């Protein structure tokens, strides 16, 4: 099964959500290697993208030109959204995604992200500006609404489709819920009924069971996974196999898993630089160790180590403990 976006095919319809500080270029590349249908860059403010110096990490981070990557933009001014979209396309972006779902206070207080659900006319101005600026598909990610009294995602979806948006992803919560409670996948069905473009369900999808239930309740065309992939970059490909018959990924174990973790760690050091990379990598190493059930003392030692070479030497011990417990 696949999703077609103005001639761009995304298959399988199991996508990686943008997560600030997590789904960076090294992690997206790793998830893509296992077989995700689409990965979305971390959100970048349109004004910041246009005014960033050439060659800075902020631009390199976006993965311009990667075949299955969407570049996600946020903003409140049509001019800067259009300029950023035009720049992204010019540098090789295959899909431009508009963020109207981020609930963070600093984003909402800047009248971006999910704050735009309180003013659909302004939201449509931004959408029309982006669609008019590029020839690549434009997608939209948003929430069910601002709060329980303003569940206007179906209306936004209809208007976005009329403006030329090729796909919409709905996180099954309102902005005021942030990430509390449970995602309401059934509420996404109203969005699916309102449009003919593909609709993607997002929120609380962490394995094949929850993905299957989200699809059944929402009627969506695919799923987008965020936090569930932390420490399990192969998860999306496994879900795609279980739900859509995609090729079963070679899930790494033993020395292969050790090599993958080491390669991911080295990729972060190379991308961010030694000191920043070592700090950024800690959360990913923590998730890998959580999945392995690593002894707390070893976990603490690895996450507090200041020398990256020491971390690399200790990675096989994580897997040895996992191997001993599984025996």
232 and 262 in a single domain? The answer is no
Segment 233-244, tens digit of pLDDT:
999 999 999 999
Residues 230 and 133 reside in one and the same domain: yes
pLDDT tens digits for range 32-66: 999 899 999 989 899 888 887 655 455 456 666 56
CATH of the domain at 47: 3.20.20.70
Which of 303, 312, 257 lies closest to 282, judged by CA? 303
Which of 244, 267, 284 is at the close of a domain? 244
In a domain? residue 249: no
Residues 264 and 194 in one domain: no
Residues 6+ apart with CB under 8 A from 93: 62, 64, 65, 69, 70, 71, 136
Q: Is residue 54 part of a domain?
A: yes
Catalytic annotation, residues: 102
Query: Of 238, 229, 291, 287, which is closest to residue 17 (Cα–Cα)?
Result: 229
List pLDDT tens digits, range 173-193: 999 988 898 999 999 999 999
- Final residue belonging to a domain, choices 244, 269, 289: 244
Domain finish residue from 211, 244, 277: 244
Based on the fold, state whether residues 214 and 274 are members of the same structural domain. Answer: no
- The number of folded domains in the chain is 2
Q: Are residues 182 and 133 in the same domain?
A: yes
Q: Are 93 and 71 in contact (CB under 8 A)?
A: yes
**Domain containing 170: what range?**
3-244
pLDDT exceeds cutoff 80 at 252: yes
| 225 and 268 within one domain | no
What pTM does this model have?
0.92
Residues 234 and 298 in one domain: no
């Amino acid at each position: 099964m696949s999703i077609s976006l103005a001639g761009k095919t995304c298959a399988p319809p199991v996508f990686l959500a943008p997560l600030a500080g997590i789904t960076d270029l090294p992690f997206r590349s790793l998830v893509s290697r296992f077989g995700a249908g689409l990965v979305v860059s971390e959100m970048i403010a349109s004004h910041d993208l246009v005014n960033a110096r050439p060659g800075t990490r902020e631009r390199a981070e976006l993965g311009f030109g990667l075949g299955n990557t969407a570049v996600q933009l946020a903003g409140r001014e049509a001019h800067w959204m259009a300029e950023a979209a035009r720049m992204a396309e010019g540098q090789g972006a295959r899909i431009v995604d508009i963020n109207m779902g981020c609930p963070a206070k600093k984003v909402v207080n800047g009248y971006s992200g999910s704050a735009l659900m309180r003013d659909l006319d302004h939201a449509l101005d931004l959408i029309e500006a982006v669609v008019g600026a590029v020839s690549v598909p434009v997608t939209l990610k948003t929430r069910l609404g601002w709060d329980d009294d303003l569940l206007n995602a179906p209306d936004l979806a209809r208007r976005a489709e009329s403006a030329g948006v090729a796909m919409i992803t709905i996180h099954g919560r309102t902005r005021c819920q942030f990430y509390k409670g449970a995602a309401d996948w059934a509420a996404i069905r109203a969005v699916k009924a309102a449009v003919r473009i593909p609709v993607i369900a997002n929120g609380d999808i962490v394995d094949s069971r929850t993905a299957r239930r989200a699809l059944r309740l929402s009627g969506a065309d695919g799923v987008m996974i965020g936090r569930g992939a932390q420490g399990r970059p192969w998860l999306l490909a496994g879900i795609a196999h279980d739900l859509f018959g995609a090729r079963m990924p070679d899930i790494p174990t033993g020395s292969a898993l050790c090599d993958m973790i080491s390669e991911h760690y080295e990729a972060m050091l190379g991308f961010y630089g030694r000191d920043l990379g070592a700090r950024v990598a800690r959360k990913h190493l923590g998730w890998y160790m959580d999945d392995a059930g690593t002894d707390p003392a070893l976990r603490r030692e690895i996450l507090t180590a200041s020398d990256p070479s020491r971390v690399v030497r200790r990675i096989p011990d994580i897997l040895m403990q996992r191997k001993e417990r599984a025996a």
